[in-house]
Amino acid sequence: MAIRNIRHLGDELLRKKCREVTDLTPKLKELIEDMYDTMYEAEGVGLAAPQVGILKRIVVIDVDGTPYTMINPRILETRDTQDGSEGCLSVPGKAGIVIRPAYVRAEAWDENMERYEVEADGYLARAICHELDHLEGIMYVDKVEGSIYDVEMDDEEQDV
């Protein structure tokens, strides 16, 4: 178990495009375990590999107690829209309103490199879109409606 350093907005690595995973090496399996540790430690609900400095297409998400390891994830279908408040572990203490699809269907590979699909709505759909953006070097602050505002550190936050 290891907690990795989370990169913050302004770090140019967060703006780079991530590479596909072709071979899930022991080093990448360790990365995935560390990503969960880091996300839970920071009380976040999602984390993308570039947030800990690794430019690979890997994200972990746990919105409601069900963890999703998503390797090489891709959105297959979206429906409707939702707007809501969104935060990011790479932009601590801030949040903003972002419009996201209300429903997404995505494919990804798990830690055994087995393909699966996930259907999501609500905050899980939002988290999937947010994390997949990280893999393209896109941050939520690029998409925010209106302005980014401060949130109290003891607020119930769901940073991704």
Binding site for Zn ion (CB under 5 A): 88, 160
In sequence order, what are the residues at sequence separation of 6 or more whose Cβ sits closer than 8 angstroms to the Cβ of residue 41? Answer: 3
List residues bridging with 106 in a β-sheet.
75, 118
Indicate if 131 belongs to the active site. yes
Do the Cβ atoms of 95 and 87 come closer than 8 Å? Answer: yes
**E strand segments, the chain:** 46-48, 58-62, 67-88, 91-109, 115-121, 145-150
Q: Closest approach of Cβ 73 to Zn ion, in Å?
A: 14
Beta carbon nearer to Zn ion, 21 or 141: 141
Closest by Cα among 15, 127, 115 to 60: 127
Beta carbon nearer to Zn ion, 8 or 74: 8
- Which residue in the list 41, 43, 131, 152 is annotated as catalytic? 131
Beta carbon nearer to Zn ion, 47 or 108: 47
State the residue number with the nearest CB to Zn ion: 88
Q: Closest approach of Cβ 23 to Zn ion, in Å?
A: 26
Q: Closest approach of Cβ 89 to Zn ion, in Å?
A: 6
Closest by Cα among 11, 10, 6, 120 to 73: 120
- Positions annotated as catalytic residues are 131
